[in-house]
Structures are given as C-alpha cells and as structure tokens.
Amino acid sequence: MDAVPLNAYLVLSAFLFVMGAIGVVIKRNPIVMFMCIELMLNAVNLSFLAFARYQTDLLAQVSGHVFVLFVFGVAAAEVAVGLGIITVMFRLRESIDVDEVTLLRG
C-alpha cells in the first residue's frame, strides 16, 4: 500500500508534539509559545492524516480529513485571539514577558 509504515508517521508526530510541549514549558516569549502550540496542533494533524491514510473505509478516511479542518480552524482562532491579547499587553506594559503578566488578573 505505502512505502512508509504507519508507525513512522506516529513517531514523527509524537516527536513534534513533545518538542512543542517542551517549547511551551521552557520559553517565556508568548509568540514563541504560540508557535510551539501550533507545532503541537500540527503534530496532531499529522497523526489524524496518518490514521486516515491507512483506513480502508472511505468514511473513516474522510473523517480524518474533517478533523484536520476543524483543528486548522481552532488554530486560526487561537492565533487571532492570542496575537490580539499580546498586542494589547505590549501596548499597556511595553513588555511581553510571560512572567511579568499581571494584566489579566481579575
């Protein structure tokens, strides 16, 4: 069926997800944190598409692609809202360091 086995896609997906999670934990710049979250979401998309590729049922193949479209929509909304918050935070504080954020406390 395919020259690349399913476990190769899943190992790559797990590696990308772990790298994104490490980046979110280690980095203090919110823009880099958003990029790491995007990396994690794309790792999930890779696993969805890998599972969809190896399904024999057409409905299962299409459902994997539909999940990817939903994840893309969530990622786009997350970036739009997150960058808006970062822009407002920078205008008010002139710093975007995550450790210094007390602006969102209630």
pLDDT in tens, the chain (106 residues): 568 899 999 999 999 999 999 999 998 888 899 899 999 999 999 999 999 998 888 888 899 899 999 999 999 999 899 889 888 888 887 777 777 666 556 5
Question: What's the pLDDT at 45?
Answer: 95
CATH number at residue 12: 1.10.287.3510
Question: What's the pLDDT at 101?
Answer: 67
Longest CA–CA separation in the chain, Å? 56
Question: What's the pLDDT at 19?
Answer: 97
Query: In this structure, is residue 21 part of a structural domain?
Result: yes
Our count of domains for the chain comes to: 1
Question: What's the pLDDT at 103?
Answer: 56
Torsion of CA 64, 56, 18, 25, to 10 degrees: 20
